[in-house]
Structure 1
Amino acid sequence: MAFEATRRDAPFAKGATALLLVDMQRVWLEPGLDPDHADWGPDHYFYRETRERAVPNARRLLDAARASGVEVLHTIIRSLTRDGRDRSLDHKLTPIHLGPDAPEALPVAELAPVGDEILLPKTSSGVFNSTNLDYLLKNLGIRHLVVAGVLTDQCVDMAVRDGADRGYLVTCVADACAAPSPERHAHALKAFGGYCWLAGTDEVEKRFHRLADEVAA
């Protein structure tokens, strides 16, 4: 097969671009719901960062993607069984368990799926490891995968690296991601930046709107 010369920041292609929102769930984003961080108040860095920056920026991306015909997928940490027996060993040991009926497992209202947008429950840090995301993206004809969400240094990191290894041109929207500290966020971006195009919400939003103009033309 001939090698296709391109760049990580190559222009998005109409009909071949998807937005993946990673773990933008109530349990992580609404103060008081995460049992592992019951001591974090609303003014904790992570909640301020997600409330004031990451969630609003993800909403901008979502609105632009929907307006331009970009495929939208959401992934959440949620077990398939009520007792969590289907979880990965790592999630059992941690432990992390959100049952299929847990309302706090759903995305926050601002980022909730609409229409027939795909919602993928996963039971590992890596969405490619515990869902059929790769199969779905290939069926959808996706070449460009735009990633945003939480945590930058955990589930976002794995989505970026694994997506790149599977042959997608990955964009990570840095200011639509967040981690529990600015240091963790910055270190993660530096560590996996070689696997993707690191971009900002402004630039990606403009690119989505350009696709909308192509659709209208």
Structure 2
Amino acid sequence: MRVNDRHLSFYYEMDDDIEAVHIDRPRTALLIIDMQYSQISRPQGRSEAEQVRWEPFYRKIEEVVLPNNQTILKAFRRLGMNVCFAKVVTRKRDGSDRSLNQKGTGFNASYTVDGDPRGEIVAELAPIADEIVVRKGTESALTGTNLRLLLHNMGIDTVVVTGVLTDQCVSSTVRSLADESFQVWLVEDACMAATEAIHNHELEILNNLYCHVINTEELLEALSNS
């Protein structure tokens, strides 16, 4: 089953079974992944060449991804629906508590210790009372936390996922949720990878197998009709 004609991989090009997007409010939670200062704000000390390489990412975050996350978050709060956040931080100052892939070189060489203001969720999306925040040293928000248990205890079987990075923590979380038999809606214009090419490639891989990829407008329409 698919819900639109976008981001179709080879496996689903011939699938004619199209259904409407449906959200069961009491059984659905929003999960915002790694929308922290350390992940979506321009860092200090990068070379000019690196600043140029990453500038399209930060523009997309500022102009599209962050505003859409704000819109979705506002809708979930207005409807009294469950909201969860995941943020990637370490407990150990030397970062030794991170998973192996989090200890990689290059892009993964840097990390933020829990309690550092850079690791906080950005003010535009700041959690409020009664919203769950989990801390992880892994890519998946399920593998490194008790989020799976919390969702099950709350009667949640469907998760709407947003955040960064599409091909890394978002993808790992979506796959984990699917393996735990949650239905997943991934909001394509409320998440982002380092480049549009990587972002779109990962959406094609995930779509219809591990999740259904929809956009903010489609989500809001489904919420209003639920």
TM-score relative to the length of structure 1: 0.86
Runs of 4+ in 1 over 6 A off after TM superposition: 34-38
* Alignment partners' CA distance in 1, 2:166 and 2:153: 27
Shift in Å at residue 112 of structure 1? 1.0
Partner residue, 1:199 = 214
Partner residue, 1:136 = 150
Does 2:126 align with 1:112?
yes
* Alignment partners' CA distance in 2, 1:147 and 1:9: 18
Does 2:120 align with 1:100?
no
* Alignment partners' CA distance in 1, 2:97 and 2:48: 24
* Alignment partners' CA distance in 2, 1:155 and 1:9: 27
Shift in Å at residue 38 of structure 1? 8.8
Q: Provide the identity percentage.
A: 36
Shift in Å at residue 92 of structure 1? 2.8
* Alignment partners' CA distance in 2, 1:37 and 1:144: 43
Does 2:203 align with 1:189?
yes
Distance 1:140 1:36, change over 3 A: farther
Name which of structure 1's ranges 106-115 and 90-99 shifts more when overlaid on structure 2. Answer: 90-99
Shift in Å at residue 41 of structure 1? 5.5
1:22-33 alignment, distance < 5 Å: 22-32=33-43
Shift in Å at residue 68 of structure 1? 0.8
Residues 162-203 of structure 1: CA distance to partner in whole angstroms, max 9, x if unpaired?
111110110000010111111001100001112111111011
Of 182, 185, 197, the match for 1:171? 185
- Amino acid across the alignment from 2:79: S
- Amino acid across the alignment from 1:195: Y
Note if contact 2:29-2:81 (Cα within 8 Å) is conserved in structure 1: yes
* Alignment partners' CA distance in 2, 1:83 and 1:145: 33
- Amino acid across the alignment from 2:223: F
Name which of structure 1's ranges 18-27 and 39-48 shifts more when overlaid on structure 2. Answer: 39-48
Note if contact 1:80-1:121 (Cα within 8 Å) is conserved in structure 2: no
Of 65, 72, 75, the match for 1:61? 72
Partner residue, 2:57 = 46
1:62-81 alignment, distance < 5 Å: 62-81=73-92
RMSD: 2.4
Distance 1:35 1:89, change over 3 A: farther
Number of residue equivalences = 205
Unaligned runs of 5+ in 2: 1-17
Note if contact 1:79-1:100 (Cα within 8 Å) is conserved in structure 2: yes
* Alignment partners' CA distance in 2, 1:162 and 1:36: 36
Shift in Å at residue 110 of structure 1? 0.7
* Alignment partners' CA distance in 2, 1:183 and 1:41: 17
* Alignment partners' CA distance in 2, 1:108 and 1:180: 19
- Amino acid across the alignment from 1:125: E
Unaligned runs of 5+ in 1: 1-6, 212-217
